[in-house]
Every structure is written in structure tokens, then in C-alpha cells.
Structure 1
């Protein structure tokens, strides 16, 4: 079990301290190949800096996680937005979710096409409709109605992904290789705590390579791919979507925190349960209302980064925790 903890004060001490802003991001828990390792770490570091800049200016946690996830959607190394994996028909179908811990409002989209930043479309669903999720054609029609730019599928597909898609013929091969070997990649996400004490989360993904047309994983499902509540914390999950769905991983993590477990214990126990119960691997990032945070994974690697007190923490390998000064 790989883990990365917030340094410094205990969680109890942090509750009595002045509120500090925190942002944590992940670029997906999977068997990241060496040729993508540096770009993955650089990408999460950039996303963390961009999201934290929002918090430093006094912006909301909701704005911060959207900005951080958009950064990764625009980066072709990640399986979200640009760089999304292809389904059995050779198309990109994207899922995304965002949630406000202050109000429990959330928005999600699934199986959308030709959208560069589905996380922003998910936020529009939350703020401009009376619904929480729109899917497929309906989500795209809504995007058109609010003036969201549509881009050709080819714009979202990298040459690397097109070559890998042609190599692998079926869904089960895609699943096994996503999490046990070198090929394919996974969800991105962010969690944040702002200066007002509000938390938020966001996730975005292209899903699993060679998935069935219309397949929806955990990322846009409330309580599975993410959850945020000011009274317990914010979580963003990554890994094998069907396994995460079966154990409602995000809500499971927060429920253990509500029972008095630390962020680290809650993550470890929940991921262990998923592995034991449904043989699923993955990872998650979490921030508590006190600003305590953690990043944990049971896959070979997970690119992650966190910023607090103007220090940027990041890692890729199990038990790796590196740091540098945050630069605006």
C-alpha cells in the first residue's frame, strides 16, 4: 500500500490552527510506463500550481479544482479531454464530475463527445440546470445550448493512443493492461480546501481503452469517483471503475473519516476493502476540513501533487514524497 501524508502538525492540532488552503491532484493510478513517468509528474505539478494559484488569490475550492482538472484535460499525457482513450468504435467518450462541499450541489456528464473540457460542462450542469447528470446526446445538446465549443474527435486523440487502440482488440484485454502492465491510462482528479473552509472535488476521464460504447465508469457517479462535504472532507478516486462502483469508494472513505479515522487510515482501509472484496486496484486523494490531506494507491504508480503553505509535494512511486517551493 503506497501512501503520502501531509507533513507537520497532527490533525487535531490543525483543527485549532488558522485555516490554511490546500489543493491535491492526481493523474491516475495505474502502471504508468517509464516513457510517460516524467510527463505525468510534470503534468500534475503544473495542475497543482494552477489550482493553488486560485486559492492563493482567495478563490473558491470549486474554482480551484475545476482549474486544476482543466489543466490535466488539456495535457495529452492524461486520459481526460485531450488524450482520452478510444472505445470499441474508435471514438472518445468522456465522463466528468464536480461537487461543492458547502451545498452538496454536484454536476456530472457521461459519454460526451467532442468536448475538450468536460469538467466545465459538468459544472454547467450543476449551475445551469435542475439536474445532476446529463449523458451522451443529451449532454452534448446541452453543451451546444450554452455555447460550448465542439471540437473534432481527432483533436482529442493522440497518435500514441491511436496506435495502442489498434493493438488491443477487446475490453478485457484493455482492463488487464490498464492496471497490470504498461499500456493505457486513467482518471484525473482534484480536491481542495479554501480559506472559507469549503471543500470541493472534481474528476475527469476518458475511461478504459476498448470499453463498450456508452460504458460509464465511476468518475461521474456521486459517491464513487468523488464526493465533497464540508462536514467530512473531499475525495477524488482513480482506478478500475467497476470495482470503485461496487464499493462506492469515495463515500466509503469519508464514512470512515466520519467514524474518527485519520485521512490515511480511511484511505488505506477503503482501498484494502476494495482489493479484498472485489479484487480491484486504484487510488484516491483526500483533504479533510482541517486541511489534513493524503494520497494513497494500490497500483504500481500514481502521479500526484499537493500544495500547502507554499510547498509543493509530489510523487509517483510507492512511498515517494518529494517537495519543492511553490512558484507562482
Structure 2
């Protein structure tokens, strides 16, 4: 089985001023993940590494670069899932850990639970010696200024999502040389969200899902809408009915728009290596590597291909 990996940097109205950095960020992330697959590593290791790369990149809303809630605080969510065993780990509302996806994997591998949240998650992190950072290290100066500016408005988070005021989730899906699939998704949420609000990202079947029998999905977009239709599992349901990853994703996104007026996107991979990166927002930064081709895009119906994997500095 030849390995395949796909990543996204969030489906939203990505402004021109960070468009180039967003593309560069997903390309760098996918190279990090593909190195693992190329050397015979697991899909699980690959998606974790790719998502960590984006969590460390302040152009995205995950880890470093997270947006602020209504109280001006960071609250991070993440999920990771192994398609071979259906093992999964998730964390929500954590405040001072720069790589929530690795924290989620620890929950998956070292506890009997699937999700830890808030105070309990932080207590567990302390018990495991998971490195912590000062919350201020996760917030960019631009985000602090944007948050202070938009405190003057009373827009709902859905209105904010439909504007250019919010970043969004990052994620990855992969297929390794042993035929195993995995997914990982991480987010800093929606700017000005209520304290304690948890979106789709850490919810199994909504923000992500992986099953060797069907495929793997990582979702992005308006979290409340995604949860209402369990978007990740809905896409895989359509794939179980014989649809391609692209057809299944388009149908599920169309249903979400018609049923709950929600916009978003998803990256998908099937056990035979077919993949899709689809979205109904203005833009979504994404990249994939299959065989010797790195593909990437930002705008609707856009795909660029490179035969080499060099990234400009």
C-alpha cells in the first residue's frame, strides 16, 4: 500500500494577507507527516506530526495562534483516532498546552477514557508531566487587538464565523503502508465564544472519525452545525453506500447547508488511497501527497500540483 496524507488549515474566509502563509503552512505540515509515512511509520504518527506542525504555526487557530473566548481566555480542543482499533482520544477547554493533539493521544493511549476536559484534563496533564506554556505564549498580538476591537460588537459566533473575524480548525488524515488510516483535528475555537463552549473538533464522529473499513475524515467549519449532522460520520456513511470521497463529502456538506444552514469543509481518505478536500466556505487551505505529487489549494475548484516536495523558505 502506498501512503497518502491530506491536511487542512481551516475552512473560513481566509484574508489575502495570510493566504500565502496559510498555503505555506499546510505544505510544511504535510511534508512533516509524509516523512513519517515514507519511512514506514504509522498513519497515527503522521497525522499527529502534521497537526503539531500547524499547532506550532501562529497563522492557524490551534495551539499557538489560538483565538480568545468572551473572557479573553484560550480554550483549546483536539481529537485523534486510530482506524485500525477505533481507539480515540480527545481533550477540550484546555488553556496552557501548546500541542493539544499530543495531549489527546496521551488520553487515548494511557487512560480508559476517550475525552478529558477543563480542570480534569489539566490535572491529568500534570500527572503525566505534559509540558505547559504560559497562556500568553499562545496568543498573537494581532489576535489580542482583534479581540479587543470586536468586544464593541454583539455579533453571534455564527455571524462572526461567516465574516473574516475568525480563524478555524486544522486537521490531517492519512493512510500508511500497512493499510491503516487515522485522523487528527485541533482548534482554538471561535473568537468571542461563550466560556466553556465546545465545538465539533473533539466530538468523535463530528470533528473527525477513522475506521479502516471505510476511511478517515477531519472536519472544519461552524462547529454547532457540524455537530448537528455529525459531519465526519455522515461522510463515511455515504462512502459505505459506495460513493467516492469527493461525492460523499459534497453530499454531506450540501445536507448540512440545507438542513442547518451551516458551512464548512472536510478532508477525506479511503482505504484504497482515494482522497478529497472539499469546502463550502470562501476558502480552505489544504494539501495532499500521493505517490510523487504534492497537491494544494485555497480557493474553490483550485488545485496546484508539484512533483518535488521542496518548500520555499
- Say if 2:209 is the partner of 1:209: no
Report the CA distance shift for 1:138/1:270 in structure 2 as closer, same or farther (over 3 A): same
Are the equivalent residues in 1 in contact too, given 2:165–2:191 (CA < 8 A)? no
Q: Which runs of 5+ in 2 are unaligned?
A: none
- Say if 2:47 is the partner of 1:65: yes
CA offset digits 1:226-256 (Å, max 9, x no partner):
0000000000000000000000000000000
TM-score normalised by the chain length of structure 2:
0.97
> How many angstroms does 1:323 deviate by?
1.1
> In structure 2, how many angstroms separate the alpha carbons of the residues matched to 1:326 and 1:136?
43
> In structure 1, how many angstroms separate the alpha carbons of the residues matched to 2:75 and 2:222?
17
> In structure 1, how many angstroms separate the alpha carbons of the residues matched to 2:145 and 2:12?
19
1:319 is matched with 301
What secondary structure sits across from 2:104 in the alignment?
helix
Are the equivalent residues in 1 in contact too, given 2:218–2:267 (CA < 8 A)? yes
- Say if 2:161 is the partner of 1:178: yes
Are the equivalent residues in 2 in contact too, given 1:307–1:326 (CA < 8 A)? no
> How many angstroms does 1:173 deviate by?
4.1
> In structure 2, how many angstroms separate the alpha carbons of the residues matched to 1:187 and 1:175?
15
2:90 is matched with 108
Q: Which runs of 5+ in 1 are unaligned?
A: 1-18
> In structure 1, how many angstroms separate the alpha carbons of the residues matched to 2:29 and 2:268?
16
Aligned pair partner of 1:97 in 56, 59, 79 = 79
> In structure 2, how many angstroms separate the alpha carbons of the residues matched to 1:262 and 1:121?
33
> How many angstroms does 1:310 deviate by?
2.3
2:272 is matched with 290
Runs of 4+ in 1 over 6 A off after TM superposition: none
- Say if 2:25 is the partner of 1:43: yes
Are the equivalent residues in 2 in contact too, given 1:284–1:297 (CA < 8 A)? yes
1:267 is matched with 249
Are the equivalent residues in 2 in contact too, given 1:104–1:229 (CA < 8 A)? yes
> In structure 2, how many angstroms separate the alpha carbons of the residues matched to 1:230 and 1:62?
12
> How many angstroms does 1:325 deviate by?
2.4
2:108 is matched with 126
TM-score normalised by the chain length of structure 1:
0.93
> For residues 1-328 of structure 1, what are the structure 2 equivalents within 5 Å?
19-169=1-151, 172-179=155-162, 181-327=163-309
> In structure 1, how many angstroms separate the alpha carbons of the residues matched to 2:202 and 2:308?
30
Are the equivalent residues in 2 in contact too, given 1:33–1:183 (CA < 8 A)? no
Aligned-pair Cα RMSD in Å: 1.0
> How many angstroms does 1:175 deviate by?
2.9
What secondary structure sits across from 1:272 in the alignment?
helix
Give the length in aligned residue pairs: 309
